[in-house]
Copies of this chain bind each other. A is one copy, B any other.
Amino acid sequence: MTLRDELIASATRLLDDGGPEKVTLREVGRLAGVSRTAPYRHFTSKSDLLATVAARELDRLVDGIAAPAEPPAALEVSLSAAMLRFLTWARNRPERFRLVFGHWAQENDALREAAARANRALVDLVAGSQGSGALPPGDPWNVAAVVRAFLHGAAALEQNGHLLGPDRVRLDAEELVGTFLSRASGGRTSVSARPAPTR
């Protein structure tokens, strides 16, 4: 394991522990057994280090979510399962979710590439679901963007406590997936499968 990888691992641990502001280069270096300026030989800045963490996590996420089910499932079930898996990930790794899908002023090549790959995987799932009638027809990029927006918002609002029901009861993001999909399909299907837990 190279020092670069060690630094990424340390940064990820600190991120999970207390968000980006807890990821100080001093502590990252200390955890890797190195000085506080050593990270600058491997990353141009703290922002660059975090972008690398984000890119790695997004790649991992796509691998975990887009993996074919065992045994192979119908495509609309795959879409629903993928959506639920995404929400589970966002809930279990809130800091990573916020980092990966947060605000990136100057973008990192690896992160942009990972985002494009994630998008393609979703478009494929959506197109498949349209073919089987679980989603209505229409430009798959547009429909995928609606799905993506819904998922992102559900995860973000749940974390921020903005997903309120009557009397400030917090709503469950997973429950919304059922509402979303049944409305989107015009009542043609109703899916309520629970996802296998992501690692």
Q: Please give the residue numbers on chain A whose beta carbons come within 8 Å of chain B beta carbons, in ascending order.
A: 98, 101-104, 107, 115-116, 119, 136, 138, 141-143, 145-146, 148-154, 156-157, 159-166, 168, 171, 173, 175-176, 179-180, 183-184, 186-187
Residues of B within 8 A of A152 (CB): 149, 152-153, 156-157, 162
Rounded to whole angstroms, the CA-CA distance of A130 and B159 in the bound complex is: 28
Rounded to whole angstroms, the CA-CA distance of A98 and B101 in the bound complex is: 12
Q: Is the CB of B145 within 8 A of A183?
A: no
Q: Name the residue among A143, A153, A159 with the largest chain B CB count within 10 angstroms.
A: A153
CB distance from A25 to the nearest CB of B (A): 16
CB distance from A41 to the nearest CB of B (A): 26
Q: A103-B98, A156-B153, A176-B142 are in contact. Are A148 and B165 (CB under 8 A)?
A: no
Q: Is the CB of A157 within 8 A of B162?
A: no
Residues of B within 8 A of A150 (CB): 146, 149-150, 153
CB distance from A106 to the nearest CB of B (A): 11
Q: Is the CB of A148 within 8 A of B138?
A: no
Closest to A169 in B: B141
CB distance from A145 to the nearest CB of B (A): 5
Rounded to whole angstroms, the CA-CA distance of A119 and B169 in the bound complex is: 12
> Which of B115, B116, B186 is within 8 Å of A187, CB to CB?
B186
> Which of B104, B116, B184 is within 8 Å of A183, CB to CB?
B184
Residues of B within 8 A of A186 (CB): 183, 186-187
Rounded to whole angstroms, the CA-CA distance of A176 and B159 in the bound complex is: 24
Residues of B within 8 A of A156 (CB): 101, 152-153, 156
